[in-house]
A and B are shown apart, each in its own frame.
Chain A
Amino acid sequence: MEPTSAQFHENVDKALHDADLQTALHRVDKNFAARRTAAVTAMPEFEALRDEAVRIKDHTLDHLDLYLETFEENVIASGGQVHWAATPEDARQIILDLCQTAGARTVTKGKSMIAEEVALNPFLEQHGITPVETDLGEYIIQLADEPPSHIIGPAIHKTKEQVSDLFATHHEKLGKTKRLTEGSDLVAEARDVLRPRYLEADVGITGANFLIAETGTSVIVTNEGNGDLTQQLPRMHIVIASLEKIVPTLEDASTILRVLARSATGQQMSVYTTFSTGPRRADDPDGPDAYHVVLLDNGRSKLLGTAFRDILRCIRCGACFNHCPVYASIGGHAYGWVYSGPMGAVLTPTMIGIEEAHHLPSATPFCGRCEAVCPMRIPLPKMMRHWREQAFDKKLDPARQRVALRVWAWVAQRPALYRRLTGLAVRYLAWRGRPLGRLRDLPLAGGWTDSRDLPAPQGQTFSAQWARQRQGNA
Chain B
Amino acid sequence: MGATATGERVSGRDAILGTIRTSLGARDDDAARKAVSARLQTHPRNLVPDRSAVGDAERVAMFVSQIEATHASVARVAEPADVPAAVAAYLAQHNLPARATLAPDVADLDWKSQPLLETRVGVPVESDPVGVTAAFAAIAETGTLMLTSGAGSPMTLNLLPDNHVVVLRRRQVTGSLEDAWDRLRTHQGDAGMPRTAMFVSGPSSTADIELTLYLGAHGPRRLHIILVED
Contact = CB atoms under 8 A, between A and B. Distances in A.
Interface of A: 24, 27-28, 31, 43-45, 48-49, 52, 56, 59, 62-70, 72, 77-78, 83-86, 90, 94, 97, 101, 134-137, 140, 153-156, 158-160, 163, 183-184, 186-188, 190-191, 194-196, 198-199, 213-217, 223-226, 228-229, 232-233, 243, 248-252, 254-255, 257-258, 265, 267-281, 283-287, 295, 297, 301-306
Interface string B142-160: 1110000111001110111
Given A64-B24, A277-B196, A279-B195, 18 more contacts: A45-B49, A62-B32, A84-B12, A84-B16, A136-B209, A136-B217, A155-B208, A158-B209, A184-B214, A213-B40, A215-B193, A229-B218, A271-B201, A280-B195, A281-B149, A297-B19, A302-B19, A304-B20
Contacts of A280: 149, 195
A324 B160 CA distance: 38
B204 A224 contact: yes
Contacts of A216: 193
A191 B16 contact: no
Contact of B196 (A31, A248, A275): A275
A157 to B, nearest CB: 11
Contact of B44 (A183, A229, A251, A279): A251
A56 B150 CA distance: 31
26 contacts: A24-B210, A44-B49, A62-B32, A86-B16, A136-B217, A155-B208, A156-B208, A188-B216, A198-B218, A224-B217, A225-B220, A228-B158, A228-B159, A229-B156, A229-B159, A232-B156, A254-B176, A268-B143, A268-B201, A271-B70, A271-B201, A271-B204, A275-B193, A277-B192, A283-B150, A297-B19
Interface of B: 1, 5, 9, 12-13, 15-17, 19-25, 27, 32-33, 35-36, 39-40, 43-47, 49-50, 66, 70, 104, 122-123, 126, 141-144, 149-151, 154-156, 158-160, 176-178, 181, 192-212, 214, 216-220
Nearest to A159: B210
Contacts of A85: 12
B187 to A, nearest CB: 14
Contacts of B23: 301-306
Given A232-B159, A284-B151, A217 B193 contact: yes
Nearest to A249: B43
Contacts of A86: 12, 15-16
Contacts of B201: 267-273
A274 B196 contact: yes
